[in-house]
Amino acid sequence: MHILCSVLLLASLVCIHSSSALNKVWEEWRINHQKVYANQTEHVFRRAVWEKNMKLVLRHNQEASAGNHSFTLGLNHLADMTAEEVSEKLNGLKLEDPVEFRNNTFIKDLSGLTLPQSVDWRKEGLVSPVRNQGLCGSCWAFSSLGALEGQMKKQTGVLVPLSPQNLVDCSTYDGNHGCNGGYISKAYTYIIRNGGVDSESFYPYEHQNGKCRYSVKGKAAYCSNFHILPRGDENTLQAWVATVGPVAVAVNAMLQSFHLYKGGLYNAPDCNPKFINHAVLVVGYGSDRGQDFWLVKNSWGTAWGEKGFIRIARNKNNLCGIASFAVYPTL
């Protein structure tokens, strides 16, 4: 139903000529996404940002229907934010120095290994439901826990959503900064040091920094080590995703086309692998009409992308930096 509405909304946008019609679309969007602004100044500003994004979405989708893009954009809940705001408030991955992990880097011998054409760990029950990090730079916690949830499920047979709030509140000592950002590696450092991490149901998410309330009573996972994959090597990433399970990765999520991504194969040529600012989870891979893709879980809610997932072009010279910093934990 929600998707249908969005499609109708976009179709009707094509016919907009008058500002009153535009106002109507804006009001509908605002109600749909339950947007309430603090004052008139804020309202006017948000409206202007939204209108700019709306025009971008329209133009992009027209180009897409002409065959120029393999993905579409949509007016999702981020459509009243500028690219800078999204990068500031919804990303929060700190840059890791791969040199630091030279001894943790796994070189796998890929010769003689036959990998499946496609993998989707959701089908094996290794992937918990998509969550929404809100206006908190905690992507690093969702991403690292996503990989751990998969390994725990493989070990115990039970998929238990783990607590990003636990990491946000308790891993400052390990070098993380809660909602102000953090590192995938330091999330694991904390879990190893702490001897475990709580479940989401025991220690629920609050979208903001809080006091550390870890309790062993809520402990639902542990890990003993983590491994970094060779930098920028999509073949190795594929091998590990196929044989190990979901892998935590860092990507460039700075472009508006990423923020407003709605569906299809994300193949934005300007998604530079050098600019990494967001942590997500690779849960599989495949090919669509001859185009290889990575199947990626985000933490921006189910209204974003393909029910919270994005398919990023694979084997396109490490597009968006998908293989630049890939990590998985061992139990």
**Can 60 be counted among the known catalytic residues?**
no
Among 18, 20, 34, 68, binds ligand NAG (CB under 6 A): 68
Among 1, 4, 102, 216, binds ligand NAG (CB under 6 A): 102
Encoded tokens for 284: 């599989």
Rounded to a whole number of angstroms, the minimum distance from the CB of residue 101 to ligand NAG is: 7
Closest to ligand NAG by CB, 215 or 225: 225
**Can 17 be counted among the known catalytic residues?**
no
**Can 104 be counted among the known catalytic residues?**
no
Single out the catalytic residue among 136, 139, 223, 271: 139
Among 4, 38, 158, 216, binds ligand NAG (CB under 6 A): 38
Q: How far apart are CA 310 and CA 258, in angstroms?
A: 9
Closest to ligand NAG by CB, 126 or 260: 260
Q: Taking CB under 6 A as the rule, does residue 63 contact ligand NAG?
A: yes
Rounded to a whole number of angstroms, the minimum distance from the CB of residue 57 to ligand NAG is: 15
Q: Taking CB under 6 A as the rule, does residue 15 contact ligand NAG?
A: no
Residues in 288-307 that interact with ligand NAG by CB under 6 A: none
Rounded to a whole number of angstroms, the minimum distance from the CB of residue 286 to ligand NAG is: 25
| Binding piece for ligand NAG, criterion CB under 6 A, among 96-104, 118-126, 181-189, 204-212 | 96-104
Closest to ligand NAG by CB, 68 or 317: 68
Q: Taking CB under 6 A as the rule, does residue 100 contact ligand NAG?
A: yes
Provide the annotated active-site residues: 139, 278, 298
